[in-house]
């Protein structure tokens, strides 16, 4: 909402507005206007237009407007292929098994400009209308990157994502959720009611591995996202995201009264 000095004076004095003299009213409105200008100069509030001001976007203000579901994008997984999780089918060595997988699924060899091999293969696969980039390194490391910025992943879809990868890689290794590491992820919430008029992006914190920002997307929604560089297992990520998206259970109210807790009251 946008307010001018007169509107703020009216709100602050709504109980005794009739008893205030016109001269005192004019003086107080002038003081409020001066304070609003000072707050705007210090970037504490935003000047929407001449004489009108509004609060700057903040997490607390946004949460009062809406409470959308927490979703993920910019997900990066790393899976080390070791002797413990590698499948050996009919005596075929792990290296040959991986090479056959790469060849059968038509992976592309990554090379330098002069054609020298970088000893890794990559391919894009489709999962629920999202493109996933899979890179298999010759040294025994699988990297999986899911951007999904235009279509963030919810908690149920994130669980399905893990199940999908488990089936996709079953030919070359055993997909264990406690061994798959998440090294990068962005947690996003899309707000439809909030609008950033005249503001493209608001960054709250910015440092080496962790930052948060609010910005308006092309589809009209305002996104509040938090980028994290981490090193946790896929299993721990499931548990954390479930807590973030879980709706607290509301106790029923019977005839306007809450159920008796049977606790003694002093």
pLDDT at 123: 94
Within 10 angstroms of residue 89's Cβ, the number of other Cβ atoms is: 10
Residues forming a β-bridge with 124: 133
Whole-angstrom CA distances from 155 to 147, 158, 165 are 16, 5, 16
CA dist., res. 137 & res. 122, Å (int): 9
Whole-number Cα distances in Å, 48 to 40, 43, 135, 149, 201: 10, 12, 48, 30, 16
pLDDT of residue 243: 67
Task: Give 225: exposed, middle or buried? Use CB within 10 Å, 0-12, 13-18, 19+.
Answer: buried
Closest CA relative to residue 26, chosen from 38, 9, 49: 9
- pLDDT, one tens digit for every residue, the chain (266 residues): 789 999 999 999 988 888 888 899 999 999 999 999 999 998 888 888 889 998 876 667 666 767 788 888 889 999 887 665 555 444 445 556 778 888 888 999 999 888 888 888 999 999 998 999 999 988 778 999 998 888 898 888 988 999 999 899 887 777 788 888 888 888 888 877 676 766 677 766 555 556 777 778 877 788 878 777 777 888 888 877 776 665 444 444 444 444 545 444 43
Rounded to the nearest 10 degrees, how much is the dihedral formed by the CA atoms of 83, 162, 143, 73?
A: -160
Sign, CA torsion 59/62/66/71: negative
């Amino acid at each position: 909402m946008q307010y001018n000095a007169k509107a703020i004076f009216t709100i602050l004095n709504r109980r005794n507005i009739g008893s205030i003299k016109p001269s005192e009213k004019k003086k107080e409105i002038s003081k409020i206007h001066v304070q609003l200008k000072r707050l705007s100069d210090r970037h504490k509030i935003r000047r929407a237009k001449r004489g009108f001001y509004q609060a700057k976007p903040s997490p607390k203000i946004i949460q009062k407007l809406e409470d959308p579901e927490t979703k993920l994008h910019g997900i990066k997984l790393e899976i080390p292929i070791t002797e413990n999780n590698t499948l050996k089918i009919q005596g075929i060595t792990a290296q040959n098994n991986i090479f056959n997988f790469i060849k059968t699924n038509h992976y592309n060899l990554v090379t330098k400009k002069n054609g020298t091999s970088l000893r890794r293969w990559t391919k894009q696969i489709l999962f629920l209308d999202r493109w996933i980039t899979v890179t298999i390194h010759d040294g025994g490391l699988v990297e999986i990157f899911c951007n999904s910025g235009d279509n963030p992943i919810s908690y149920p879809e994130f669980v399905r994502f893990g199940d999908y990868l488990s089936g996709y890689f079953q030919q070359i290794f055993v997909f264990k959720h406690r061994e798959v590491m998440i090294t990068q992820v962005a947690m996003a919430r899309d707000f439809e009611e909030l609008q950033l008029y005249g503001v493209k992006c608001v960054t709250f914190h910015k440092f080496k591995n962790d930052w948060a920002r609010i910005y308006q997307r092309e589809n009209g929604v305002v996104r509040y996202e938090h980028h994290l560089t981490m090193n946790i297992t896929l299993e721990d990520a499931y548990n954390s995201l479930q807590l973030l998206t879980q709706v607290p259970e509301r106790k029923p109210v019977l005839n306007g009264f809450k159920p008796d807790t049977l606790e003694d009251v002093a």
